[in-house]
Amino acid sequence: MKFFLNLILLTLVTTNLYATDISIENSSIRMMPPGVPMTAGYFLISNNTNKDIILTGVRSSSFKSIEMHNTIKDGDVMKMVKQESILISANSKLEFKPMSYHLMLIKPVKPISENEKIDVTFLTKSGDSISSVFIVKGMKGMKGMKGMKGMMMSMNRPDYVFPVGVKGGKNMMPKKLMFGYKFGTMDMDCCKNGTNSISNNDIQGLGYSMAPTDMSMDMHMFSAMYAVNGKFSIMAMLPYIEKEMTMKMLTGMMAGNLHSTSSRGIGDLSIAGLYKLSDKSNFKLALSIPTGEFDEKDHNMSGVLKTLPYPMQLGSGTYDITLGYSFQEVLDDWSYGFQVNALKRIDYNSEGWKLGDRRELSAWVAKPVSNSFSVSFGLDVEHQENISGKSANRSNTTHLTWAEYNHSHLRVSSNIGVNYKFPKSKSRIGIQCGTPIYRDVNGPQMEPDFKCNIGFSSMM
């Protein structure tokens, strides 16, 4: 009996003590959308006593369980780490807030509604309990919520990475290494002039005796990316390229004859730096180093080994600079982004020519359809300038792809894509295929009928 009296006395004393010396204020629980099994709780706890308090647990009859979390920044990623205990030092305050310490309230017993009052009890290491009434508040009543949720959720989204056809990547977690492999294939037909299709007769009428009928280009792109720190990543990309072109003789004794040529080998090495401007955007500076052959030869119709025309070369032969800017916003249930690139050729190559400068814009919207899959729809705009100078090896002026002024174009393509993220892994696969919907070419010029990219990446 004395024991019980002591217990009651102790309870009275401690309750009294906590009522005056430990306070929990601004207690709020974030309203969650229907079907979401967890939400966060925030408050300010003040320990006005001369003793440390250690919180060891939290419970409420309204939730199956409540955990204490801390949000820790690991490079670019915000991670929530479960805390078994949290110390509130003597005579100090601790605010549980977005991007910091917070309560994770898991599985409500029944759906919660805005402005509902929920009793929450905190347990301390010394065996005491502290009660507080939390009020359920909508998104609007909670500042800073969006950023926290966005960052936690978006990294794991399949649409967090750009569609695979979009060049270059985004910054990663510091000290992480990522390897990628991308296979791109493109098929081109002949030919367009301005915005119209033109026939072989038209091409012959323009004075050419040879026209391409078909060209394919396959590219195996190997890439590695290393995040030096949270702001800066470096990237290297090296392609292996295979090209094939079929040409048709339009005039003379061999009119109607078809002849195929091919080239294969490594292309130009690209070294890029990515600088993170914000959580949504980055800036890219890339240098292309002329490691690809730009004097590829193959046998012509008469069996003579000759330099292949410009589009069949594997490299530019020039040092090229690319400036790029990427932006991506990941919203609750979809994302969008765009990228602009401007490529400048610094000088002529040793054969006396250079490919034209190039500007590209890619924009896309993406939507996750499950935890692993997202779909995307995008538009690409590319503006390519003509070749300047003239190759010292130009052997043939009657073949239209040898004409330096038949290369500039403005092309708009639409594409659809899928991203797949392997569950519980940092590996991803993306596929994206597109076809031109508008083009205005300085022609006659070959025209892509489709292109597809399939890419695989894995973070170490």
- Closest separation in Å from C-beta 104 to Cu ion: 4
Distance (Å, rounded) from C-alpha 321 to C-alpha 360?
14
Q: How far is the CB of 65 from Cu ion (least distance, A)?
A: 12
Interacting positions 411-430 with Cu ion (CB under 5 A): none
**Does the footprint of Cu ion cover residue 30 (CB under 5 A)?**
no
Return d(Cα 77, Cα 445) in angstroms, integer.
Answer: 47
Q: Tell me if 336 sits within 8 A of 325, measured CB to CB.
A: no
CB nearer to Cu ion: pick between 45 and 245: 45
Q: How far is the C-alpha of 437 from the C-alpha of 189, rounded, in Å?
A: 15
Q: How far is the CB of 93 from Cu ion (least distance, A)?
A: 21
Is residue 210 a contact partner of residue 403, using CB atoms and an 8 Å limit? no
Nearest approach in angstroms of CB 143 to Cu ion is 17
User: Mask of contacts with Cu ion, 204-243, x by CB under 5 A?
Assistant: ----------------------------------------
Residue of this chain nearest to Cu ion (CB atom): 69
Count the site residues for Cu ion by CB under 5 A. 3
Cβ closer to Cu ion: 149 or 231? 149
- Residue number with CB closer to Cu ion (42 or 364): 42
Cα gap 53→93, rounded to integer Å? 11
Q: Is 307 within 8 Å of 391 (Cβ atoms)?
A: yes
Q: Is 69 in the site for Cu ion (CB under 5 A)?
A: yes
What is the smallest separation between the CB atom of 89 and Cu ion, expressed in angstroms?
23
User: Tokens 């002026």 identify what position?
Assistant: 397
* Closer of 68 and 178 to Cu ion (Cβ): 68
Nearest approach, Cβ of 32 to Cu ion (angstroms)? 13
Nearest distance from C-beta of residue 122 to Cu ion, angstroms: 16
Asked if 139 is part of the footprint of Cu ion (rule: CB under 5 A), the reply reads no
Shortest separation between residue 84's beta carbon and Cu ion, angstroms: 14
Stretch that binds Cu ion, among 80-88, 228-236, 282-290, 383-391 (CB under 5 A): 80-88
Residue number, 68 or 446, with CB nearest to Cu ion:
68
For residues 80 and 224, which CB has a smaller minimum distance to Cu ion in the complex? 80
Cβ-in-10-Å burial (0-12, 13-18, 19+) of 5 comes to exposed
82 in Cβ contact with 66 (< 8 Å)? no
What is 140-205 written as a DSSP string?
GG-TTHHHHHHHHHHTTSGGGSPPTTS-S----STT-EEEEEEEEEEEEEEEEEETEE--HHHHHH
**Which residue has tokens 């098929």?**
187
Q: Which of 42, 12, 50, 39 is nearest to 24 (CA)?
A: 42
* Cα(353)–Cα(393) distance, integer angstroms: 10
Find the binder of Cu ion among 44, 54, 77, 80 (CB under 5 A): 80
User: Nearer to Cu ion by C-beta: 77 or 80?
Assistant: 80
State which of positions 83-112 bind Cu ion (CB under 5 A). Answer: 104
Residue closer to Cu ion (CB basis): 104 or 249 = 104
Decide whether 66 or 178 has the Cβ nearer to Cu ion: 66
Count Cα atoms within 13 angstroms, Cβ side, for 67: 13
Residue 355 to residue 315: CA distance in whole angstroms: 10
- Residue 155 CB, nearest approach to Cu ion (Å): 14
d(CA 121, CA 125): 13
Q: Which of these ranges, 67-75, 367-375, 398-406, 452-460, lies near Cu ion under the rule CB under 5 A?
A: 67-75
Shortest Cβ 96–Cu ion spacing (Å)? 11
Which CB sits closer to Cu ion, 30 or 69? 69
Tell me the backbone φ, ψ of residue 277, rounded to 5 degrees. -90, -35
Q: Which helix (H) or strand (E) holds 11?
A: helix 2-21
Query: Is 162 within 8 Å of 337 (Cβ atoms)?
Result: yes
**Footprint on this chain of Cu ion (rule: CB under 5 A):** 69, 80, 104
